[in-house]
């Protein structure tokens, strides 16, 4: 497995678990919709996340919360591209774009994005070819259904087996399209067409996904799983989110996607220390 990704000329080392800071430039994201829509607010938040320890910042211009219906290509471009261009001038860490649209991928790469984070795993027509052309690392995520319907009644015979098989198929499809495995990551898609027991099974089973030989990204921050298990509303999910991130890192996730960067970085740093030194105490 590659331990360093070339993200458009900015390196992302995965020798230790890293935190991906979430920057939603949308009015309707489930946790922080509307807070960072303006370019200045987005830039200030990104700089704060870098200062807090984010190793990469993920910019999203289309909400994929349960029940969302998406936005037009033009609207997503108008939200994302100015922010990416502005961030490229003020932050040093790699930038990621959270999109499934080939045109947005291409424009984002030109604007300074160094990684494509696609919740549909390059299944949109033209996405595979675009990803090959722009030459950036790509994260392939599993989602059952679409954001509009994914939480209606998700069902699996064996969620770990089915998610793993899907991600393996998408890895093969990407490689067949000319995208080397050294540029690929996978994400089981916590909360994307999964009930709470499905999410728990996937979190416990993350080591099986690592067997594909590519880095694993895990996004559990502030999600409904945390709220339902702990009985916490959105503003009260910090402790649960950090615990989930620590569990993901312990189970082998290379990147954890988080809203609360400083606290999450502390947790995964401690997990990494114990994993590396816990056997012999040397």
Q: DSSP assignment of 178-220, as one string?
A: T--GGGEEEE--TTSS--HHHHHHHHHTHHHHHTTSS-BEEE-
Q: For residue 251, what pLDDT is reported?
A: 97
Largest CA distance in the chain: 55
- Residues 101, 223, 237, 265: which is the catalytic one? 223
In whole angstroms, what separates CA 144 from the centre of its chain?
16
Let me know: does 122 contact 128? Beta carbons within 8 Å: yes
Q: What angle do CA 270, 272, 278 make, to 5 degrees?
A: 90
Domains of the chain, start order: 16-274 (3.20.20.20)
Q: For residue 236, what pLDDT is reported?
A: 94
Grouping H, G, I as helix, E, B as strand and the rest as coil, residue 236 is helix
The whole-model pTM stands at 0.92
Q: For residue 45, what pLDDT is reported?
A: 94
**123 belongs to the catalytic site:** no
**194 belongs to the catalytic site:** no
Please name which of 23, 194, 17 lies closest in space to residue 96, comparing C-alpha atoms.
23
pLDDT lower than 70: segments of the chain: 1-2, 28-37, 65-69, 148-150, 280-282
Q: For residue 3, what pLDDT is reported?
A: 85
Q: For residue 68, what pLDDT is reported?
A: 59
Please name which of 224, 213, 218, 146 lies closest in space to residue 191, comparing C-alpha atoms.
224
Distance CA 194, CA 63 (A): 18
Judged on CB neighbours under 10 Å (0-12, 13-18, 19+), 69 is exposed
Let me know: does 235 contact 241? Beta carbons within 8 Å: no
Q: For residue 37, what pLDDT is reported?
A: 60
| pLDDT tens-digit series, residues 3-44 | 899 999 999 999 999 999 999 998 755 455 455 567 888 999
Distance CA 141, CA 163 (A): 9
- Residues 65, 101, 195, 257: which is the catalytic one? 257
Q: For residue 41, what pLDDT is reported?
A: 87
């Amino acid at each position: 497995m590659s331990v360093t990704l070339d993200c458009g000329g900015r390196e992302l080392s995965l020798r230790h678990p890293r935190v991906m800071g979430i920057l939603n430039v949308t009015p309707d994201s489930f946790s922080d919709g509307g807070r960072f829509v303006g370019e200045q607010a987005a830039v200030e938040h990104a700089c704060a996340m870098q200062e807090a320890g984010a190793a990469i910042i993920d910019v999203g211009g289309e909400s994929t919360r349960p029940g969302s219906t998406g936005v037009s290509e033009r609207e997503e471009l108008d939200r994302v591209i100015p922010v990416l261009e502005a961030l490229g001038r003020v932050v040093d860490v790699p930038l990621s774009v959270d999109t499934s649209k080939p045109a947005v991928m291409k424009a984002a790469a030109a604007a300074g994005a160094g990684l494509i984070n696609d919740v549909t795993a390059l299944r949109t027509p033209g996405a595979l070819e675009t990803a090959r052309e722009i030459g950036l690392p790509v994260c392939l995520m599993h989602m059952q259904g679409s954001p509009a319907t994914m939480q209606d009644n998700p069902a699996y015979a064996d969620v770990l087996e089915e998610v793993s098989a899907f991600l393996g198929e998408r890895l093969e499809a990407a490689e067949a399209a000319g995208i080397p495995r050294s540029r690929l990551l996978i994400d089981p898609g916590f909360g994307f067409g999964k009930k709470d027991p499905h999410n728990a099974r996937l979190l416990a089973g993350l080591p099986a996904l690592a067997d594909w030989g590519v880095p694993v990204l895990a996004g559990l921050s502030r999600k409904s799983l945390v709220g339902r298990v702990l009985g916490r509303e959105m503003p009260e999910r910090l402790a649960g989110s950090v615990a989930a991130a620590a569990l993901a890192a312990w189970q082998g996730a290379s990147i954890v996607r988080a809203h609360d960067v400083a606290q999450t970085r502390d947790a995964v740093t401690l997990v990494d220390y114990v994993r590396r030194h816990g056997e012999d105490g040397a």
